[in-house]
Amino acid sequence: MANADFTWTVPADHPAFAGHFPGRPIVPGVVLLDQAILFAEQTLGRPAICWQVGNAKFFSPVGPGEILVFSLQERSNGGIAFTVRAGERDVASGSLTPPAA
């Protein structure tokens, strides 16, 4: 089973900031999930078109320019457990399941 850490710096000009939220931009949870899926595909070494989100929890807002570390752990069922941190701060966690082969 594979474990991997990925670092992602939130682009200050990310298109999700356009309306989320004026005056105080915050990364939407779906953007964090999208990044977790991209990193899961890299960890497993294969694309999965229809990931299922087993669960997702969002603990702390993320703003432009923050450096996030996505830690992924492959599970015995082929899924991925992930955590997201900004420094010492927990940002999100969850699990992803790829479609059956």
- Active site (catalytic) residues: 20
Which of 68, 98, 60, 64 shows the shortest CA–CA distance to 86? 68
Q: Give first-to-last CA distance, the chain, whole Å.
A: 17
- How many Cα atoms are found within 13 Å in the side-chain-facing hemisphere of 22? 1
Backbone φ and ψ for 62, nearest 5 degrees, come out as: -125, 135
